[in-house]
Amino acid sequence: MTAVITDPPDTTASTTRRELMTGVLQRQGAAIALVLVVAVAWFSFPRFGSLDNLRDLALQSSFLAVIALGMTFVIITGGIDLSVGSVYALGGVLAAYGSQYGFLVALALPLAVCGLIGFVNGVLVARTKMAPFIVTLASLLFARGLLLAITDEGSNTYRVPADSAFIELGRGTIGGFGYPVFIAAVLCVIGGIVLRRTRFGQSVFATGGAEQSALLMGLPVARTKITVYTMSGVLSGLAGALTAAYLQSGVTVIGVGTELDAISVVVIGGTLLTGGAGTVLGTVIGVGLRNVIQNIINQIGTLDSNYQSVVSGAFLLVVVILQRSLARTKPRR
Amino acid sequence: MRALDGVSFTVRPGEVHALVGENGAGKSTLIKVLTGVHRPDSGEVRLRGEVVSFDRPVRAQEAGISTIYQEVNLVPLISVAANVFLGREPRTRFGLVDWARMNRDAKELLSGYGIETDVKRPLGTLSVGAQQMVALVRAVSTDADVVIMDEPTSSLEPREVETLFSVVERLHEKGIAVVYVSHRMDELYRICDQVTVLRDGKMVHTGPLNDLSRIELVAMMLGRSVSDIREHGATAFGEDHNAGKEPLLSAENLSSGVRLNDVSLSIRPGEVVGLAGLLGSGRTETARAIVGALPLDGGTVLVGGKALKAGDVGAAMRAGINMLAEDRKAEGIIPNLSVRENIVLAALPQLSRFGVISREKQDRIVDTFVKRLRIKVSNPDQLVSELSGGNQQKVLLARWLCTKPKVLLLDEPTRGIDVGAKAEVQALIDELAQEGLAVLLISSEMEELLDGADRLVVLKDGAVVGELSGDDLTQDKVLAAIAGEAP
Amino acid sequence: MSATTLAPAGFDRARAARWLQEYGVYVAVVALLLFNVFFTANFLTLGNFRTQLVQAAPVCIVALGMALVIGTEGVDLSVGAVMALAASFIPLYLGAGPIPAILIALVVGLVAGTFNGFLVAHLGIQPIVATLALLVGGRGLALVIAEGQLVQLHDKTFLELGDGDLAGIPISVWIAGLLSVVMALLVGRTTFGRRLVAIGGNRTASGLAGLPVKSVLVGVYAICGLLAAVAGVLATARLGASDPADIGLLMELSAITAVVVGGTALTGGRVRIVGTVFGVILMQLVRATLIKHNLPDSTAQMVQAAIIIIAVYVARERSTR
């Protein structure tokens, strides 16, 4: 054999280095930022490193992590799910409502209903080819409406009975860390394995990376999409249930804008908003980064807590522009 | 018209079978039928003697017919190995994807075909040629009996082409049948045993390739016989034009990747220059490069001696260069707008004051051109998408003419339009040249080029291989130049 | 019933969908008006119409800008955040008089919109992605500027914008009406408008026809931002307070809904200004009708969700024909 194909020879050294730099920033940027932010916080605020604060941080992060896990899958398929905030709130209310009928109902009811909403999202996106953002905007509205309907227009807050075993799910701890932290951790590990180590995961990447090619290669594109939206619904519902267990009630006003938080952390974590690439670990780092910054803003005290979303927005912008320039340096297909 | 009409096509194990024909000959339709994208109205596909029927492309793949397309149909963001095994990943005992084995197998498989690369890299970071190779290896590794290659070398570097040939050689040794679609004569004669020529949906020839000379093959593809030179009068073109002396437009050393290589040409006012060459020879690319719609690695375009800003369609237009694009639907008409609006689109600034469009001026212009070009519309507010192809083409010509251009680049101006409209368009081109326009005419039809052009520039593989004018403008000489044989 | 009445000649799904997309919104508005005339108490009163129109005015203004953006095959998710951002600047400059305050607010909107347009046109970022950053960060920025506070406003002239009348019609309704006419003329009669529609219909062909694709796109997003700021000013004046936390919340949804319900497909190439205005009116009527019949807000939201899906589905039938 004489002819040998190796690395592309046509790219000059400078573009390669630039590509490399952008690539590193895009993939590892969030991790580097997280390390820096944690280091700064550790030395600047003595209370930051305290076990109490860390436990609190972990618990706060766990709810968002569960939602963002589902969002990661959806975004990798090239979609978006704007309904997660509403579905999250709905899940909480359903769990609190269900808790009067016992632990199982408290858990099964939100998962089933929220999963169904996700499934419908998936079917509409995959089968009717409607744009994901508009479909899920509609279900954002629908889920919020459903929530209001079952809470007497938001005036009725269901409480989890004080003797319910369900409360343990939200308030129980191991080593001071709440159960939700462990649940989120286990789910993220499973999610990571599913994404990276299963055929379904490969088909998620292929669907988002090149849908036409995926179809030509015989991958189940429609089924993949339906599955990820259903997952996103179920996970948002679960996050809602955990929150209800923790707060011991189904708070109706939570979840407004949570979809934006979830999308931000996923993208900041290095998942391409245009689909086709991303990692669960990146998302977890993104969640950490967001909440550590929030924590610092709270610690400073004098700072407006709204800086959080400004920082998220700015991060998002930088990441999106980086991703775009990265895509441009690639050879054209 | 039928895309395919009573075509029979047979390929045997271990055979490399060339499938050739110009645009609209029915090659792609035939491939789509073989791979399950389309179903034939009548007739059947037999694989190993058994009648098969595919409702989806996947079924054809499962049955052992793999296809690699001109455009790489893989997933650029995931790794090379993942692409090779997508959908059939090796798994461990626990049902998880076995990455170690997958990477190892992929590496082995690729190096078996002479491709050494890091299989963990995202596919998109490889050169297009290497990606094409991965697609090929994927296609072959699915235990295919038949591999269809649709212009696999169109985006490859010469070095990569060699690798591709060695893979084809390997397939041949393994007894796999290869259907090879290409327009490059050198390639065909190097690797193919058999050839089937399609034209206008019909099979015009099938047999051993070496029985045909290059010129015979080209003549067959273009629907000419070498000795038969038809008389003038088959087209609506008139006599030669009185061209000016100084070139109005000159393109110098245009180069763009593997598609254009140092193309130079010039057109004088009142002259029609034809661009001849087979599909993929760089004709369309030359026109696009001149108007700035194709990124250039080098070269300049001069209009009246002044260099144009590269890559700026607006600047080219202001300098008076307009291009009638080949793909009417994708690059020409704005389907949601009316005939009126499609006509005035490029001339809007001249028809408005302070950005407000003057209805009166607009009507006048539209009226003039509808009449002059005899565009058949019920009224100018009819949607352009409701018109016939010929009338759409006239609308696009009108769009350019109302900007009062100096140079018109016409890419296949008469393709896909009926005979009457075709004659009208040809007569119009003649008329425009007589009025002093410089015209570049791209056409796959020999008559159109021979009758219409005052001078012919012949392209082959993105480079100029000949220039013919005056008495040299004969079919034999053009065919010879296209086929790459010294005249 | 005979078969012919069931299936009139030439009837088919795609045609029905096309008809529905073209005229559905008008039919629905008329039907809903008639329903209310007969079945809703106190519907035919001046006061009621006034309330409905005043509520619809800001949505209408934002929807006009959204219609342009959607016409170019884009979408602007940041309109609500831009409203909040514009509103947050008003109290800072109201001391210098209402005119400077309003101008500053409008400039803020223009800058925000131009920024979106730059991301879309020059960096080639997908519209939904480009405008997401401002959706995430914009409201937060507004809250930071306002220090998280709702600021009561006392400038009489400014507040007049919110509750004043001109010839018996609320000022905000005048503005919305005027802007609708301006936008209809812009789209229908100007170079910019026709280029916009051409770019939405076939971007490649428009580029090859020498149209300034990038500048037009930037212009479209800039106008959308400017209109969102106008809506922000009006909503602030009506409320009598600058409330960045709440103003324009979910406005992107209402605006997109109005545009889509008004018969514009998300695939671009068409801007229906009259349809969009009727889309706004329809959604306002739906909400009002449900509320007047004592159907709670929850039902209104779920009905709205259903209408969006139906409208997009119908528009899709057309675009895939």
- Output the pLDDT for position B244: 67
- Output the pLDDT for position A3: 42
Cβ–Cβ pairs < 8 A, chains A and C:
135
The CATH number of B249-483, from 3.30.420.40, 3.10.20.30, 3.40.50.300, 3.30.1180.20, is: 3.40.50.300
* pLDDT mean over B378-390: 86
Band of residue C155 on the pLDDT scale cut at 50, 70, 90:
confident
| Residue A171 contacts residue A178 (beta carbons within 8 Å) | yes
CB atoms within 10 A of CB A106: 26
* Cα B12 to Cα B26, B33, C142, C239, distances in angstroms: 21, 18, 72, 80
* Cα B223 to Cα B202, B204, B213, B426, B445, distances in angstroms: 11, 9, 15, 20, 9
Q: Which amino acid is at B16?
A: V
Q: What is the helix, strand, coil percentage profile of chain B, to 5?
A: 40, 20, 40
A130 and C309 in contact by Cβ < 8 A? yes
Q: Indicate if the pLDDT at residue B53 is higher than 60.
A: yes
Candidate from A169-173, A205-209, A221-225, C311-315 with smallest mean pLDDT: C311-315
Contact with chain B for residue A16, Cβ under 8 A: no
* pLDDT mean over B459-469: 87
Band of residue A2 on the pLDDT scale cut at 50, 70, 90:
very low
Contacts of C9 (CB under 8 A, 6+ apart): none
C298 and A146 in contact by Cβ < 8 A? yes
* pLDDT mean over B39-56: 82
| Residue C274 contacts residue C23 (beta carbons within 8 Å) | no
Q: Which of C129, C140, C250 sits opposite A307 (nearest CB)?
A: C140
Give the gyration radius of chain B's Cα atoms: 25
Q: Which of A324-333, B152-161, C101-110 has the highest mean pLDDT?
A: C101-110
* pLDDT mean over B124-133: 82
- Output the pLDDT for position A247: 92
Contact with chain C for residue A123, Cβ under 8 A: no
pLDDT in tens, C18-68: 787 788 888 888 988 888 888 877 777 778 888 888 889 999 999 999 999
Secondary structure class of A8 (helix, strand, coil): coil
Candidate from A301-310, B269-278, C303-312 with smallest mean pLDDT: A301-310
Any idea what DSSP says for residue B230?
P
Q: Indicate if the pLDDT at residue B348 is higher than 60.
A: yes
Any idea what DSSP says for residue B212?
S
- Output the pLDDT for position C9: 42
pLDDT in tens, A88-116: 999 999 999 999 898 999 999 999 999 99
- Output the pLDDT for position B243: 63
Q: Which amino acid is at A275?
A: G
- Output the pLDDT for position A333: 34
Contacts of B364 (CB under 8 A, 6+ apart): none
Q: Indicate if the pLDDT at residue B378 is higher than 60.
A: yes
Find tokens 């026709």 and name the residue.
Answer: C194
Band of residue B4 on the pLDDT scale cut at 50, 70, 90:
confident
Band of residue C296 on the pLDDT scale cut at 50, 70, 90:
confident
- Output the pLDDT for position B241: 66
Band of residue C2 on the pLDDT scale cut at 50, 70, 90:
very low
Any idea what DSSP says for residue C146?
T
Which structure tokens are listed for B92?
A: 């461990």
Q: Indicate if the pLDDT at residue A24 is higher than 80.
A: no
Q: Indicate if the pLDDT at residue C81 is higher than 90.
A: yes
C neighbours by CB contacts (3+ pairs under 8 Å): A, B
Domain boundaries, chain B: 16-212, 249-483
* Cα A323 to Cα A36, A253, A265, C129, distances in angstroms: 22, 34, 15, 11
For the purposes of burial, counting CB atoms within 10 Å of the CB of B324, is it exposed (0-12), middle (13-18) or buried (19 or more)? buried
Nearest to B136 by CA among B176, B90, B167: B167
- Output the pLDDT for position A328: 59
Q: Which of C204, C209, C212 sits opposite B345 (nearest CB)?
A: C209
Alpha-carbon span A107 to A238, nearest angstrom: 8
Taken in order of first residue, the domains within chain A and their CATH numbers are 54-319 (1.10.3470)
B87 and A4 in contact by Cβ < 8 A? no
- Output the pLDDT for position B101: 93
* pLDDT mean over C149-159: 83
C201 and B336 in contact by Cβ < 8 A? yes
Band of residue B372 on the pLDDT scale cut at 50, 70, 90:
confident
Q: Indicate if the pLDDT at residue B487 is higher than 50.
A: no
Q: Indicate if the pLDDT at residue B17 is higher than 70.
A: yes
Q: Which residues of B touch C201 (CB under 8 A)?
A: 334-337
- Output the pLDDT for position A240: 95
Which structure tokens are listed for B167?
A: 């893979």
Record the pTM.
0.85
Band of residue B42 on the pLDDT scale cut at 50, 70, 90:
confident
CATH class assigned to B16-212: alpha beta
Any idea what DSSP says for residue C123?
S
Which structure tokens are listed for B59?
A: 């079924």
Q: Indicate if the pLDDT at residue C7 is higher than 70.
A: no
Q: Indicate if the pLDDT at residue B458 is higher than 80.
A: yes
Between the two ends of chain B, the Cα-to-Cα distance in Å is: 36
Question: Which residues 227-246 of chain C have a CB within 8 Å of chain A?
Answer: none
Chain A's closest residue to B125, CA to CA, is A330
| Residue B264 contacts residue B250 (beta carbons within 8 Å) | yes
* pLDDT mean over B361-371: 89
A316 and C136 in contact by Cβ < 8 A? yes
* pLDDT mean over C291-309: 87
Q: Indicate if the pLDDT at residue A11 is higher than 50.
A: no
Alpha-carbon span A295 to A293, nearest angstrom: 5
Q: Indicate if the pLDDT at residue A330 is higher than 60.
A: no
pLDDT in tens, B291-314: 988 888 888 998 888 888 888 888
pLDDT in tens, A265-281: 999 888 888 889 899 99
C299 and A264 in contact by Cβ < 8 A? no
CB atoms within 10 A of CB B302: 16
Band of residue A152 on the pLDDT scale cut at 50, 70, 90:
confident
Any idea what DSSP says for residue C106?
H
- Output the pLDDT for position B83: 92
Give the closest-approach CA distance of A199 to chain C in angstroms: 28
B73 and A213 in contact by Cβ < 8 A? yes
Contact with chain C for residue A274, Cβ under 8 A: yes
Please check whether the two domains, B16-212 and B249-483, share a CATH topology: yes
Q: Which of B114, B124, B166 sits opposite A330 (nearest CB)?
A: B124
Q: Over the range A290-323, which residues count as b (16 or more CB within 10 Å of their CB) and which as e?
A: bbbbbbbbeeeeeebebbbbbbbbebbbebbbbb
* pLDDT mean over B35-44: 82
A3 and B159 in contact by Cβ < 8 A? yes
Nearest to B338 by CA among C201, C190, C276: C201
